[in-house]
Amino acid sequence: MKKIILLTLAFAACFSAYSQKFMHGAGVIVLVDKTEYSDARAVGGLTYSPRINFFRKDNLSLSVGIPLSVGLGGNYSSHIGSYRNETTNIRFMFNLPAIVNANFGRGSSKNAHSRMGFFVGAGYGYHFSTEADNYSGDYGEYNSAESSSTTGPVANAGLRIGVGRIHNIEIKLSYMKGVTDNKPDIYSLATLFNF
């Protein structure tokens, strides 16, 4: 993971001399992690998406970004009847891809004033997830924890809707295919406000 972050920062630094603007946004995200032999696990969380435009022409730009996302979720169930039990499940996910996007229209730069815009891109990312289960009841107590991490290719696409003179709201879909560990499929849906 350190190599991915360092390579992305070095790449961004090389092109920052030619960049038109540093842009970023923050918002909410839903992350879904699915492996072949388990149920899909979903969490809600926060995302922060910085990017640097290294090429810009009219309403088109190319950018490199590192959208960081963290999510937390879980459930609790309790049963009281002929026997008593309580089950608690907590999930945490961390996602960090390095993405190169082609941006069109609104949001391609701070000088693009069209009402709508969209983007599409690809890159490589890191994903970490952990899950802890706790059961207690008349038949004893049971605790388990499971963690996994993976790297793999990432693709994303989305649209941007203008708000005010230079800001926009972004709706983004993303897919990552893990190629290490348990090879999960990671999906996300995010909504951000771009500054």
What tens-digit pLDDT sequence spans the chain (195 residues)? 566 555 555 655 554 444 448 999 999 999 999 988 888 899 999 999 999 998 988 889 999 999 999 999 988 777 676 666 788 889 999 999 999 999 999 999 888 888 999 999 999 999 999 999 887 776 778 788 889 999 999 999 999 999 988 899 999 999 999 998 789 999 999 999 998
What pLDDT is recorded for position 8? 57
What pLDDT is recorded for position 3? 63
What pLDDT is recorded for position 17? 47
Contacts of 26 (CB under 8 A, 6+ apart): 46, 47, 48, 49, 192, 193
What pLDDT is recorded for position 53? 93
Structure tokens at 40: 């899909």
Domains defined along the chain, listed by start: 2-7+21-77+95-125+150-194 (2.40.160.20)
What pLDDT is recorded for position 71? 97
What pLDDT is recorded for position 171? 98
Contacts of 106 (CB under 8 A, 6+ apart): 112, 113, 114, 115, 116, 117, 160, 161, 162, 168
What pLDDT is recorded for position 111? 85
What pLDDT is recorded for position 5? 56
- What pTM, to 2 d.p., does this model score? 0.83
